[in-house]
């Protein structure tokens, strides 16, 4: 079936507008003159194959999103996202979100190529007590993943990836955004965590978004903000449930420390052991009836020093320069897990060096730097 240039034009324009990009900005970045972009988007002149490839690469889309009208593309979900919350996303954040979805789709493809197994997990809540939904789901998932009742989850990102969630951390301009969940039509469950957050808060945030995966996937998109919602907000109970899930997943109520007297040093020590903020710890202890409000307030008043929090993907055994480079990649969404998948697929001959470069959002110079940083090799003849 011949391509309908009007459909291609509509999708190209939609991709640009969803990222709040001007025609002149696209022209400057791609080298396609503004008049040509305008003609293509108006459907007055069909885009050439090269133009589609160039624009798809710039918009961080698979080129088939524009050429195959039967292929499900994420336009609809991002359109829903911005119609609901458009005012809170800067143009930079919109571009970051599209890049995140692009990486999710690549990750899903690589996992299939490499035969990465996933564990099926589902939970059907009963009753109308949302906090109980979150608590029981957390306990059920912990059991499903083989945790002992008193075991502290060390790698929550790996936990949720095991059940089919694509997780990326990326720094967003709007620091009030904690995280978001999108049901991608090809990749499936996609979670983005704002790398601007404190490291312990990020662990709570990814657990919170995992609850939206479990309970709220029918919503297609969910955005979590740092500020608390009012009880009048339609998503209030969903956020309460997600918070309870995250708290119970990271800090099982039956296993919380029952100390006769809490001191500030003990609060910091237990927050470090559990890898949670003192605020999250105080709320969990208060919910479990272990401390009174005065003690909870004292626990909230102290903080784990930021220097004591080490990102597991930028460990202390790296040099300062290596750690800074790892963090810079994480801020762009390139997790250790994703980078590893890319190099594994390349070394097994499943993707070319060019596709490796595209997946890592890198030119050939940066690709070499990334390969050295991770101790991986590039097969240039592949």
Instruction: State pLDDT tens for residues 235-255.
Output: 899 999 999 999 999 999 988
Q: Tokens for 52, please give them.
A: 């589609």
Q: Which domains does the chain have, with CATH numbers?
A: 1-71 (1.10.260.40), 74-250 (1.10.10.2910), 256-308 (no CATH), 320-374 (no CATH)
DSSP string, 54-108: HHHHHHT--THHHH-TTS--THHHHHHHHHHHGGG--HHHHHHHHHHHHHHHHHH
Section 345-362 average pLDDT? 95
Record the pTM.
Answer: 0.93
State the pLDDT at residue 1: 44
- The pLDDT of 30-50, averaged and rounded, is 94
Residue 382 has pLDDT above 70, yes or no: no
Residue keyed to tokens 């999103």:
65
- Run of H or E including 359: helix 353-359
| Percent share of the chain, pLDDT over 70 | 99
- Average pLDDT for the chain: 93
Say whether pLDDT at 288 is over 60.
yes
pLDDT of 381 strictly over 70: no
């Amino acid at each position: 079936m011949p391509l309908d240039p009007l459909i291609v034009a509509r999708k190209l324009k939609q991709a640009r507008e969803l990222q709040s990009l001007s025609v002149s900005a696209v022209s400057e970045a791609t080298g396609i003159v503004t008049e040509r972009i305008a003609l293509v988007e108006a459907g007055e002149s069909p885009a050439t194959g090269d133009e589609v490839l160039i624009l798809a690469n710039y918009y961080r889309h698979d080129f088939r999103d524009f050429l195959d009208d039967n292929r499900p593309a994420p336009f609809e979900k991002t359109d829903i996202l911005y119609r609901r919350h458009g005012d809170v996303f800067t143009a930079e954040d919109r571009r970051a979100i599209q890049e995140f979805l692009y990486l999710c789709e690549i990750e899903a493809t690589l996992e299939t190529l490499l035969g990465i197994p996933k564990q099926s997990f589902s939970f059907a809540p009963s009753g109308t007590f949302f906090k109980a939904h979150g608590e029981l789901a957390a306990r059920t998932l912990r059991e499903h993943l083989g945790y002992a009742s008193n075991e502290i989850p060390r790698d929550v990102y790996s936990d949720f990836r095991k059940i089919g969630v694509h997780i990326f951390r990326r720094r967003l301009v709007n620091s009030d955004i904690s995280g978001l969940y999108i049901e991608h039509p090809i990749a499936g469950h996609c979670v983005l965590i704002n790398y601007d957050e404190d490291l312990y808060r990020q662990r709570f945030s990814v657990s919170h978004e995992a609850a939206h995966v479990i309970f709220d996937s029918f919503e297609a998109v969910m955005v979590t903000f740092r500020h608390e919602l009012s009880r009048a907000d339609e998503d209030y109970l969903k956020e309460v449930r997600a918070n309870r899930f995250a708290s119970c997943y990271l800090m099982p109520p039956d296993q919380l420390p029952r100390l006769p007297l809490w001191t500030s040093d003990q609060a910091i020590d237990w927050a470090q052991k559990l890898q949670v903020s003192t605020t999250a710890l105080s709320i969990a202890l208060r919910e479990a009836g272990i401390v009174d409000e005065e003690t909870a307030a004292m626990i909230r008043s102290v903080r784990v020093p930021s220097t004591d929090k080490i990102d597991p993907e930028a460990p202390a055994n790296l040099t300062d320069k290596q750690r800074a480079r790892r963090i810079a990649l994480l801020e762009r969404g390139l997790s250790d897990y994703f980078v590893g998948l890319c190099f594994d697929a390349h070394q097994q001959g499943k993707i070319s060096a060019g596709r490796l470069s595209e997946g890592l959002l890198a030119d050939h110079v940066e690709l070499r730097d990334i390969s050295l940083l991770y101790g991986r090799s590039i097969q240039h003849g592949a």
